[in-house]
Every structure is written in C-alpha cells, then in structure tokens.
Amino acid sequence: MEPHKVVSQQEWMKAQTAHLVKEKEYTRMRDRLRAERLELPWVKVEKNYVFDTPDGKKTLSELFDGRSQLALYHFMLGPDWEEGCTGCSFGCDHFDGANLHLQHHDVTLVAVARAPLAKIEAYKKRMGWQFPWVSSNGSDFNFDFDVSFNKEDIKAGKAVYNFRPLDFEMDELPGMTAFYKDEKGDIYRTFSQYARGGEEGIGAYMILDIMPKGRNEKGTMDWVKRHDEYEDDPQLKAMMAGSCCG
C-alpha cells in the first residue's frame, strides 16, 4: 500500500465533509436512475419455458411461487462444466440472507443454469445454499435471454451480451432478469442486467469500497475463490483431513 497523507482531526473532518457532497450527489443520481429504470417499457413473454426442478417440471409462471415478481439469476454453470463459476458463486453467497426479506416483499428469487439438475443440486449442496435453483437444460431459455452462446453465433456476430454484440468466445455469462406476472397470469420481462450491472447486490464489494485498500484487485474478482476454497476455511480443512485419512 502506498504511503498515505496523514492530517489533523480538523483537516480530516474538512476533507470528509467536502467529499460527502459528492457522495450525496451520487446517491441522488442513483435514486434518479432507479426511478427511470422503473419507467422502462416491458415486453410480454410469449414462449412457454419449462424448467427441471427438485419438485419436477415447472413453467416460468410456476417459478413465481404465488408472488407477482420474479428475480431470475442467470448462473454460469454449463452442461459440461465441472463446477459453478467462481464469480457467480461469490455473488450467490449473498442470496440466502436477503431471500427471506424478498419473499415477504412480493419477490421470488431463483437461480437458473443450463447444467442438468443433478449437477446443480450437487454444487448447491457443496456450497450450502438454500435458495431455489432450477435447470434450463434442453430449452432455449438461456439463449433467448442472451446468457448462453454457441461459437457459430459468436463468429457470425449474432451473439448479443449486455445489449451489444459479443466479441469474445464464452459459452456462459451471468446476469439477472426481472419478471412481473399480472392478475391474468400474463408474464412480462421488465429488466435485465448483465456484466457488472449486479455489483450493488454483492454486499462484500460494498464494504470493500469503503476500506483503505478498496477492492484491491487488478481485474474484476481476480482475488475471489469459492468459499470452500480459501486455505483457512475450517470446512475445507476438515474435508482435506478426511481425504488424507481415507
């Protein structure tokens, strides 16, 4: 860490107070952006998507689970992947704490991936997560929502991610899509965010942003590991000890 300027309490307060003006400006700008987001037009979902769940096949409508709003997290776990994306896992570590509150505020939170359900269930168990997670394996869902891609479409310039042509090869990418179901049962796609759009939902990042070293990363999430892969993790040590003892 580079040497930092150290000042008196009075000078520190003056600098903090001056900076607070910008912090408040940012907060008001963020509030305006959120209000504008709520005014964006919707698009009706016409296709009948069906997902594999631990309770059998379910339609997109059934994923709402009696609520009018559905937050669907597009998790990077492809059919042939051995384990889930590290960055997605980092983000999803924050879901269970929020989920109880979301459920009591008319929002159902569900993760979806293209991997078979058995692979999803195994990884979910490994991570110790409780939030619902379904499989879109064999359907067009991920491709229709621009989070899964094939090489032919990428080369032909047909693959789109974050509302622009995808210019690199990747078969899975993350995102979050918001849906609304009206009293008639019609479903609307109201908003989708991709890439770094979901960072505000990662509480660890929000705390790091006020720390002296900030995020302390050269590339986005270059320091992050799955929570059972940190060397000082007790669960990982127990697993390693168990494997050593046969």
DSSP string, 79-148: TT-SS--HHHHHHHTTHHHHHHHHHTTTEEEEEEESS-HHHHHHHHHHHT--S-EEE-TTSSHHHHTTSB
Instruction: Check pLDDT > 50 for residue 245.
Output: no
DSSP state, 218? S
Distance CA 43, CA 135 (A): 23
54-60: long-range contacts (C-beta < 8 A, 24 or more apart)?
54/117, 54/121, 58/134, 60/179, 60/187
pLDDT digits (tens, 9 = 90+) for 130-173: 999 999 999 999 999 999 999 899 888 899 999 999 988 899 99
Question: What are the φ and ψ backbone dihedral angles of 61, each rounded to 5 degrees?
Answer: -60, -40
pLDDT at 73: 98
pTM for this predicted structure: 0.90
CB distance 127 to 226 below 8 Å? yes
Bigger pLDDT: 157 vs 106: 106
Mean pLDDT of the chain: 93
Distance from the Cα of residue 174 to its chain's centroid: 7
pLDDT at 171: 94
Range in 65-69, 169-173, 217-221, 234-238 with the lowest mean pLDDT:
234-238
Contacts with 171 (C-beta within 8 Å, 6 or more apart), sequence order:
78, 148, 149, 150
Name residue 52's beta-bridge partners: 57, 135
pLDDT at 170: 93
Give residue 3's pLDDT band: very low, low, confident or very high (50, 70, 90). confident
Question: What are the φ and ψ backbone dihedral angles of 32, each rounded to 5 degrees?
Answer: -65, -40
Contacts with 44 (C-beta within 8 Å, 6 or more apart), sequence order:
186, 187, 188, 189
pLDDT at 238: 57
Percentage of the chain beyond pLDDT 70 is 94
Mean pLDDT of 204-212: 96
DSSP state, 177? E
